[in-house]
Amino acid sequence: MVVEERSAFFGFPDLIDVETIETGEAKSTLAIYSRSKYGYYDFGVNKRRVETWLRELAASPK
């Protein structure tokens, strides 16, 4: 799945790829890749976004 999210300050679009990968019986892992659509430097926005998503997933009820 590919998701587009806009940066808070300038509103530039960022692309986020999300994929679940089966790792065994009743087990899986998650791959997330977030990047700027334009430019080459994002001041760490995409890294913080992925870290926030992972923290929120870990804190969600199972």
Residue 33 has pLDDT above 90, yes or no: yes
Beta bridge partners, 23, equal none
* pTM greater than 0.75 (yes/no): yes
Task: Report the share of the chain in percent with pLDDT over 70.
Answer: 100
- From the list 48, 55, 50, the residue with the least C-alpha distance to 32 is 50
Tokens of 51: 């870290």
Q: Which residues contact 35 (CB under 8 A, 6 or more apart)?
A: 14, 15, 16, 42, 46
Summarize the confidence of residues 6-22 as an average pLDDT. 91
